[in-house]
Amino acid sequence: MSTLSQNTDGFPVDLNGFVRQCAWCRRVADIEGRYRLVSPTLVHGASHGCCEACAIRFLSRGGKKPLAA
């Protein structure tokens, strides 16, 4: 048992024990929950979500859906 909340890659984990990583830009959330850490690869066992930047990017883009005929 470790009191340090880090996974084996050294990234901080959330209360559920998961590293939070953006599945799009692969940024990793730090202990404050901000996606400021950069990982070159997908973190094994991470909880893959969407960071704020990517959320904004997709939301702004998702306003218009191409209509399929």
**Interface with Zn ion by CB under 5 A: which residues?**
22, 24-25, 51, 54
- Whether 26 and 41 have beta carbons less than 8 Å apart is answered as yes
- Kindly state the smallest distance separating residue 56's Cβ from Zn ion, in Å: 10
Measured between alpha carbons, how far is residue 9 from residues 3, 40, 55, 61 in Å? 16, 12, 25, 33
Nearer to Zn ion, 17 or 58 (CB): 58
- Kindly state the smallest distance separating residue 13's Cβ from Zn ion, in Å: 18
- Kindly state the smallest distance separating residue 58's Cβ from Zn ion, in Å: 9
